[in-house]
Amino acid sequence: MYRYLGLLLMFLSFTAKGQELNATVQVNASFITDANPQIFKTLQTSLTEFINNTQFTSRNFERNERINCSFFITVTAYESNQFNATLQVQSARPVFNSTYESPVCNYNDKDFGFSYTEYQNLVYNPESFNSNLVSVISFYANMIIGMDADTYEINGGSPYFTVAQRIVSSAQQSGYKGWSQQDGNQTRFALVDNVLSNTFEDFRVALYDYHRLGLDVMADNPKAGKEKILEAIKTLNKVNRARPNAFLTRVFFDAKADEIVSVFSGGPMVSINDLVDILNRISPLNSNKWSNIK
């Protein structure tokens, strides 16, 4: 009896670990008026279960380590199980010694076409292409895990980005948009290619400095944390000088603009003489927000 109890406890301990993501999925099909709405509800349920029950890496995550994220799908066209949609992907990570969660990823994919039959099995396999729905969601799952890991350790996300790149390679012959270099410079191909490029090494250093050496120390030493965040932004300025208007810097500020304004609009004073000028150079689209930094 005790032996079986021990085995049961071992099993429960194992199954409590593993999955990396704590995801919310929302499928908005309000634009579609001539289809049974049940298909969209089933899709939402299927994706929620797929993302939250799939182990995308070999690393075991405790339940409290799972990454909070969301996938917002807006269906723009639907016919005969063929979907055209956009996908907004967001993730956040906790800040040490606080209840605050810092946004890490906030990206809108406008080329999300896929086929889906109600109740079809969704199976994760990064080595082969079986479904654009599964490949796109799996790609972003690995990107979320990789970006989160980069905030805790310099280049900590490389193993997960490498898997995302394999997913890109497997999908390139599928005919779906977003997987090929020919599809433009703001695609899934470009996102992971840039992250793994030596050209953007400083981007990943800044990601670590901003979070681990900046935000994570602010509860104990707000001034030191703000100074490190300022240093991280200056590192991003180096990236901008080498590659003006780079895709990755836009992705960064899509997630971080409001947070940066909040960080530098209160608390202990640090020297921000050049900060607004730097931010306007790197991210001019957020100039209205930067004007609120005093």
What does the DSSP assignment read for 259-278? HHHHHTTSSS----TTHHHH
Domain boundary among 148, 180, 196: 196
The average pLDDT across 273-286 equals 94
Q: What is the pLDDT of residue 60?
A: 84
Cα gap 185→248, rounded to integer Å: 10
* Band (18; pLDDT cuts 50, 70, 90): low
Q: What is the pLDDT of residue 242?
A: 93
- Do residue 265 and residue 120 come from a single domain? no
11 part of a folded domain? no
- Do residue 223 and residue 183 come from a single domain? no
- Do residue 141 and residue 191 come from a single domain? yes
Cα gap 164→170, rounded to integer Å: 10
Cα gap 189→186, rounded to integer Å: 8
The average pLDDT across 27-33 equals 95
The set of residues, in sequence order, having a beta carbon less than 8 Å from that of 30 and lying 6+ positions away, is none
- Do residue 234 and residue 91 come from a single domain? no
Domain count, the chain: 2
- Do residue 270 and residue 125 come from a single domain? no
Lowest mean pLDDT among 202-206, 262-266, 277-281: 262-266
- Do residue 93 and residue 112 come from a single domain? yes
9 part of a folded domain? no
Cα gap 222→261, rounded to integer Å: 15
- Do residue 185 and residue 222 come from a single domain? no
Domain that holds residue 125: 18-196
Domain boundary among 148, 175, 196: 196
Percent of the chain with pLDDT over 90: 87
Of 13, 15, 26, 25, which Cα lies nearest the Cα of 51? 25
Any idea which residue has 């800044």 for tokens? 206
4 part of a folded domain? no
- Do residue 253 and residue 119 come from a single domain? no
Cα gap 110→89, rounded to integer Å: 11
- Do residue 192 and residue 205 come from a single domain? no
- Do residue 22 and residue 159 come from a single domain? yes
Q: In terms of C-beta density within 10 A (0-12 exposed, 13-18 middle, 19 or more buried), how is residue 8 classed?
A: exposed
Tokens of 120: 């079809």
- Do residue 184 and residue 241 come from a single domain? no
pTM for this prediction: 0.92
Query: For residue range 67-98, what is the model confidence (pLDDT) as tens digits?
Result: 999 999 999 999 999 999 999 999 999 999 99
